[in-house]
């Protein structure tokens, strides 16, 4: 049983997108996990051995209860029936309450495929008659992480990660072969020669400003948010 599970395309995606959410949940004593759909074997930087070491370090920083690799092909992720069934079996095993996935219109084709694959696998995992090992289980909530997305709607909510931001950076930069000495990488667009660390901080400071906090992570849900007391609403209008 996992409280918060990130289902992402590559090792380091969870750290970049929702490291703050995973750290915050672990800080509250909740069980957190990451399911990397591929092992990142098509990456341009680092050897498999180095990347495995870096992932172990990042996993320790995040304090994850569980981390799995689905073994799907890096660079060729597809939302096929076979892939859905394979991921659904892992969802049944890990039994998450909340799943965090990529944004379905992300720039990287693997990220787009991973977003839909995660969503469909969560649905299939709950089907009693699906040809999948394990007891049926459907997560209660699916979130899409909007971090770094330039073509995305206004977030449904922003999570305050001020208390987690330094450790989120530590988890990201555990992948030294991927991010060391860079000013831009993947979805994290650069700002001239601004170091990547500062660029990531600037993104999170922007999301944080949307909720009047130091740092935030933006999320999208298809469902509306429940409010019971108008006077308890946060974030001032004026
Ligand atoms: Zn990725």
Provide the pLDDT for residue 43.
79
Cα 225–214–158 angle (5° rounding)? 15
* Cα 59 to Cα 115: distance, rounded to the nearest angstrom: 22
Helix (H, G, I), strand (E, B) or coil at 205: helix
* Cα 184 to Cα 191: distance, rounded to the nearest angstrom: 8
Distance 137 CA to ligand 1 centre (A): 26
Place of tokens 């690799």: 69
The β-bridge partners of 7 are 35
Distance 17 CA to ligand 1 centre (A): 10
pTM over 0.85: yes
Provide the pLDDT for residue 90.
98
The β-bridge partners of 188 are 185
Provide the pLDDT for residue 180.
87
The whole-number mean pLDDT for each consecutive block of 10 residues of the chain, a chain of 238 residues, reads: 97 97 98 96 83 95 98 96 98 98 96 98 97 96 97 95 98 93 88 94 98 98 97 97
User: Residues within 5 Å of ion ligand 1 by Cβ?
Assistant: 9-10, 13
Distance 236 CA to ligand 1 centre (A): 35
Question: CATH second-level architecture of 2-222?
Answer: 3-Layer(aba) Sandwich (3.40)
Provide the pLDDT for residue 184.
87
Distance 163 CA to ligand 1 centre (A): 25
């Amino acid at each position: 049983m996992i409280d918060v599970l990130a289902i992402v395309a590559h090792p380091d995606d969870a750290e970049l997108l929702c490291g703050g959410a995973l750290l915050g949940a672990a800080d509250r004593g909740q069980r957190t996990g990451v399911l990397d759909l591929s092992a990142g074997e098509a990456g341009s930087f680092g050897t498999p051995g180095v990347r495995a070491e870096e992932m172990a370090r990042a996993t320790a920083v995040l304090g994850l209860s569980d981390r799995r690799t689905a073994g799907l092909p890096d660079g060729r992720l597809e939302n096929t029936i076979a892939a859905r069934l394979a991921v659904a079996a892992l969802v049944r095993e890990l039994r998450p309450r909340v799943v965090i996935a990529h944004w379905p219109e992300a720039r990287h084709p693997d990220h787009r495929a991973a977003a839909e694959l995660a969503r469909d696998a969560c649905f299939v995992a709950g089907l009693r008659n699906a040809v999948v090992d394990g007891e049926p289980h459907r997560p209660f909530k699916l979130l899409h992480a909007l971090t770094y997305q330039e073509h995305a709607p206004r977030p449904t909510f922003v999570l305050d990660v001020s208390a987690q931001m330094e450790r989120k950076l530590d988890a990201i930069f555990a992948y030294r072969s991927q991010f060391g000495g860079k000013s831009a990488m993947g979805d994290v667009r650069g700002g001239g020669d601004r170091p990547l660390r500062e660029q990531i901080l600037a993104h999170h400071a922007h999301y944080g400003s949307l909720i009047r906090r130091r740092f935030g992570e933006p999320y999208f849900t298809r469902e509306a948010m429940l409010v019971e007391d108008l006077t308890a609403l946060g974030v001032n209008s004026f």
